[in-house]
Amino acid sequence: MSEEKIAGIMRDFVKVFSDGDVEKGLSHLTDDATWSSPMGTAKGKAEIRRVFEGMIRSTPEMKVTECGLGVIARGDKAFFEHELSGTFQGKKWEILAMCAYEFSGDKIKNVRSVYDRLSMAKQAATGWFATKAVNSIINNMEKGMR
């Protein structure tokens, strides 16, 4: 499969988050696909459907914006650098994300997503307790870096 076709499939796949079209997103996956992310690993279309639906429910206006290196494809593997943005409980957030894709034919077999959930939590925390808890974790992790 050409690099352009792989890039097109990946770009179409992530539209599930802005369009909310779960079926279209799932149509790009093999039946035994896996998706690993900071939230855990979903195996098979049924589990990935639950992940899609949960993400769409919690952040219905999520956007995926290609940035940095964009899409790089080689053989049946590809990389996608992008920004995720949206609002959670009325607070805006934006984070950098990177995904590694593996293809089987013209379908996605595996996706490994990496992004900073702590940064998202810091931006979306509401109320004094949540804000204090997130900032405490961040401050402890950054000790010695300043």
Q: What percent of the chain has pLDDT over 70?
A: 99
Domain map (residue ranges) of the chain: 3-115, 117-146
pLDDT, tens only, 43-72: 999 999 999 998 888 887 889 999 999 999
pLDDT mean over 15-37: 92
144 phi and psi, to 5 degrees?
Answer: 85, -10
User: Alpha carbon of 36 to those of 6, 110, 114, 135: distances in Å?
Assistant: 19, 8, 9, 26
DSSP letter at 127 equals S
The CATH number of domain 3-115 is 3.40.640.10: no
pLDDT mean over 90-108: 93
pTM of the model: 0.85
